[in-house]
Amino acid sequence: MSVKHALLALLCEGPRYGYELKAAFEARTGDAWPLNVGQVYTTLARLERDGHVERDSEDVDGHVHYRLTDAGRRETRAWWDSEVTREAPPRDELAIKLALALTVPGVDVRDVLQRQRTATVRALQTHTRRRARLTSAQRDGTAPAGAGTTAAVLVLESLIFAAEAEVRWLDHCEARLLRTADPNGARP
Amino acid sequence: MTAVLELRAATRTHGTGPTAVHALRGVDLVVRPGELVAVMGPSGSGKSSLLMLAGGLDASTSGEVLVEGVPLSGLDPAGLASLRRRAVGYVFQELNLLPALTAAENVALPLELDGVPGRAARELALRALDEVELAPAARRFPDELSGGEQQRVAIARALVGDRRLLLADEPTGALDSVTGEAVLELLRARVDAGAAAVLVTHEARHAAWADRVVFLRDGRLVDEARSAVGWTA
């Protein structure tokens, strides 16, 4: 996804400069997708070109703040009012890889499956630990006030559910492969 | 640091000859204090066999299983039973709480079986129930508790006294996802406080609470996942 709409949404709260936008984006999305500050400024330049943002004041440190224009506000509204499309999903490298591993000779599909399972479980461990840090900070009262921490927890849980679904799919692939290999359906 | 649990080339074969079933084949595994290890694998891969050997509920055909440095093969049945009661706690999907006993009596039972006097056993049981935030339910019977509460009683029973090794087989089986996560959090807290645990599960989301996730296939450990990110910042 482009970060364009995320930046527009953050600017609805008031003018910000590039680094502030990067920090706000990462805090609310659980540091799941770190942003390159250069990417933020490139996006701001495009948004400015398209008339969605304009330069606001410069602070004492020389940071250029950007603020939303009316067109930018309408663009953001349109984003909230539309759904994220799931009909034409982006190419899934893993699904493609498994399809090819199954059909191209000389590949041990169970090894491919296990390597991926390990990697996905490792990612799941990482998401689970990040979430545990956030929820324990919430419990101890050391998390920043506001809904930002809850937002970050929900984003991490989205990654947790997606990784879990992937492991289940890998398990399903393996079970189906074993069943296909043995027409009687017996377990090895 | 001494491992709480160690499997050395642990092998379990049922039957002999061409019909022999190889449940576990030469599994090496070390679990230290403060470590939670999850075991994943398809049905029939040997997960439950591993847990049975680790808890001394079954004996290996070859290889060795050590609990707190003690080789289980060197123990007579009485010694094995004593070690099981003293050092090992079990949480199974079937909770096996005794319906005629209160929550506190269920938790105190393994201590009393091991010769701890009634009053002392009851105090330890109440402390264990307090740790799982169930002290107010101490006098209630299992059928007066929710599924999640019963599971917490089972965990308190598994950890009561000075048990260092906790073995859990699908401990969140019948629970909804939020209650299930709470059980995992509880396990995690006990491990962080110094216990060692082995968790058998087919739920990747639950296995992710472990320090290490090991994968079994056809009775062999084939891989291991370990995140580089720690539990605390």
Contact A118 B225 (CB under 8 A): yes
**Measured distance CA(B41)–CA(A188) in Å, rounded:** 13
Contacts of A21 (CB under 8 A, 6+ apart): A7, A10, A11, A40, A44
Q: Give domain B5-97+154-225's CATH number out of 3.40.50.300, 3.40.640.10, 3.30.450.40, 3.10.20.30.
A: 3.40.50.300
Residue of A nearest to B22 (CA): A188
What confidence tens digit (pLDDT) does each residue in A24-74 have? 999 999 888 999 999 999 999 999 999 999 999 888 898 999 999 999 999
What CATH number should be reported for the domain holding residue A29?
1.10.10.10
A77 and A116 share one domain: no
Phi, psi (degrees; rounded to nearest 5) at B12: -135, 120
| Domain annotation covers residue A63 | yes
Q: ipTM of this model?
A: 0.80
**Measured distance CA(A24)–CA(A8) in Å, rounded:** 12
Q: What is the pLDDT of residue B86?
A: 84
Residues of B with CB under 8 A from a CB of A: 40, 42-44, 188, 202-205, 207-210, 213, 215, 217-218, 222-233
Task: Provide the shortest C-alpha distance from residue B233 to chain A (in Å).
Answer: 7
Q: What is the pLDDT of residue A90?
A: 85
Last residue within a domain, chosen from A17, A49, A81: A81
Residue of A nearest to B42 (CA): A171
Q: Report the number of distinct structural domains present in chain A.
A: 2
Under 8 Å between Cβ of B184 and B151: no
Token pair in block for residue A30 = 């659980």
**Residue from B85, B147, B91 nearest B121 by CA:** B85
Contact B231 A133 (CB under 8 A): yes
Angle at B53 between CA B48 and CA B59, to 5 degrees: 125
Last residue within a domain, chosen from A24, A48, A81: A81
Q: What is the pLDDT of residue B233?
A: 62
| Domain annotation covers residue A112 | yes
Token pair in block for residue B105 = 């009596």
Contact B210 A125 (CB under 8 A): yes
What confidence tens digit (pLDDT) does each residue in B98-155 have? 999 999 999 999 888 888 899 999 999 998 898 888 889 999 999 999 888 888 898 8
Q: What is the pLDDT of residue A185?
A: 42
* Series of mean pLDDT values for 10-residue runs along chain B (233 residues): 93 91 95 96 91 92 95 93 87 80 93 88 91 89 89 85 87 75 84 92 92 95 90 69
**Residue from B184, B167, B154 nearest A135 by CA:** B184
A75 and A98 share one domain: no
Contacts of A175 (CB under 8 A, 6+ apart): B42
Last residue within a domain, chosen from A81, A108, A135: A81
A71 and A144 share one domain: no
Under 8 Å between Cβ of B102 and B149: no
Under 8 Å between Cβ of A132 and A156: no
Q: What is the pLDDT of residue A186?
A: 44
B127: left (phi over 0), alpha (psi -120 to 50) or beta: alpha
A104 and A51 share one domain: no
Burial of A150 (0-12, 13-18, 19+ CB in 10 A): middle
Contacts of A42 (CB under 8 A, 6+ apart): none
Q: Which domain holds residue A28?
A: 4-81
| Domain annotation covers residue A41 | yes
Phi, psi (degrees; rounded to nearest 5) at B94: -80, 115
How many CB contacts within 8 angstroms connect chain A with chain B? 73
Averaged over A149-175, what is the pLDDT? 94
Contacts of B150 (CB under 8 A, 6+ apart): B95, B97, B142
Structure letter (DSSP) for residue B186: H
